[in-house]
Chains A and B, each alone.
Chain A
Amino acid sequence: MFSFALHLIARDFRLALRRPMDVASALFFFLIMASLFPLGVSPEPELLRQLAPGILWIGALLSNMLSLPRLFAEDFQDGALEQMALAPYPLFLLAMSKTLAHWLICGIPLAFLSPLLGLQFDLPPDALGILFVSLLLGSLALAGIGAVGAALILGLRNGGILLALLILPLYIPALIFGTSAVDAVTHGLSPLPYLLLLAAFTLGCAVFAPLAAAAALKVSLE
């Protein structure tokens, strides 16, 4: 059972390596979006510092969504998803492995990029660290919720827009806890309560989202 999950994750990883542009485009989107704000809003360091957590979190959230429609869609089209569903393991395991793979391939690189972008906004070093930690934790929740949406839109035309409408509202708790944690550090407060809340939300998503995604997959595969 564990080896099945590991094989699935390794396979997705290998596929992502074959097509590095998929991940690179999400990272570049994040980079460009974050770079536009100082140009468009104001180069005032004080203002940018205040806006930074929100901008960077929203940027990470949107770039995370870029590759989500493909999470199940390609395997669905070429029949691989059917084969995985016919493996003698619960669909829950499939949904969970796919979620983890997406987190490893897309979420973690975004988290690593975020402190660099934070520098553009003149964030203090400890805030950069918390931004990284909050995105590292939060992106797992984003991947979990995203997988539910990605499973629901399988086989639909224009699924991408529907996906955004479905899951962006569900991202709100992660966004609030994540940005509050970074805000707290910049104001000299402890970020721990927010990080703990974010961790709790992430844990809840990691457990329940694959169940929902499995149910959605079952419907989509019929």
Chain B
Amino acid sequence: MLEVIDLEGQRGDSCLFHGVNFCLEAGELLLLRGRNGAGKTTLLRALCGLTPPASGKICWKGEPIHAQGAEYRRELCYLGHANAIKEDFTPLENFRAQACLSGDAEHPETKDALAALGELGLSGREHLVCRHLSQGQKRRTALSRLARERRALWILDEPFVALDAQAVAWLSGRLGEHLASGGLVVLTSHQSADIPRARKIKTLTLSA
């Protein structure tokens, strides 16, 4: 499904990685490793189509992602370093805004949104402006979109950062469910992730 051929990434003038090859099929997870500055985020952004790679090819279902454009983005869910939540919004509003911004046609029902936030342990905080939440709670708000996400390819940059054990367990479980239903995951993490029900975990280590 997701195929990367001889990818080279640059940041400024320096080459971060080159000759990156991998192929990810439905139900597989790719764990991206590497020391700080090895180019993990750059690779993820290239996979999303945000930063064009210096050379090489990224194909989704056999076609280059740049040729597909919106078709590809419709199947992609990217969660970056930044939480992409608004400090002036409540978790509930942020959840809705995320759904609308990602271009999902259907507007999430309040019931669904509350359930998703509840899964993340944010019940009782739904109507509190995010500025007053802790770092971990903000991260949980950002992750809440994964609770109902049906897109096939998840690209997650350090999703476990700032989370407590309970939230890590929830996320691992959710990743497991997603993989079991035929989804794909690419994630970076410095921790060792223990994903239940994951059929196959591939590891790729970037070394400059």
Contacts and interface: CB of A to CB of B under 8 A. Distances in A.
Contacts of B85: 78, 80
A79 B83 contact: yes
Interface in B66-86: 70-71, 73-74, 76, 78, 80-86
Contact of B105 (A3, A11, A18, A78): A3
Size category of the B interface is 20 to 34
Given A88-B71, A89-B70, A82 B93 contact: no
Tell me the interface secondary structure of chain A in the complex.
helix
A14 B100 CA distance: 14
Contacts, number: 71
Contacts of B102: 83, 86-87
Given A11-B97, A88-B70, A88-B71, A78 B78 contact: no
Interface of B: 48-52, 70-71, 73-74, 76, 78, 80-89, 93, 97-98, 100-103, 105
The 9 residue pairs across chains A and B that have the minimum distance between CB atoms:
A79-B82, A87-B103, A79-B84, A7-B100, A88-B70, A18-B88, A88-B74, A88-B73, A80-B84
Interface of A: 3-4, 7-8, 11, 14-15, 18-19, 77-80, 82-90, 221-222
Given A78-B82, A80-B86, A88-B73, 18 more contacts: A4-B100, A7-B100, A8-B100, A15-B86, A15-B89, A79-B82, A82-B82, A83-B78, A83-B84, A83-B98, A83-B102, A86-B49, A86-B76, A87-B102, A88-B70, A88-B71, A221-B50, A222-B50
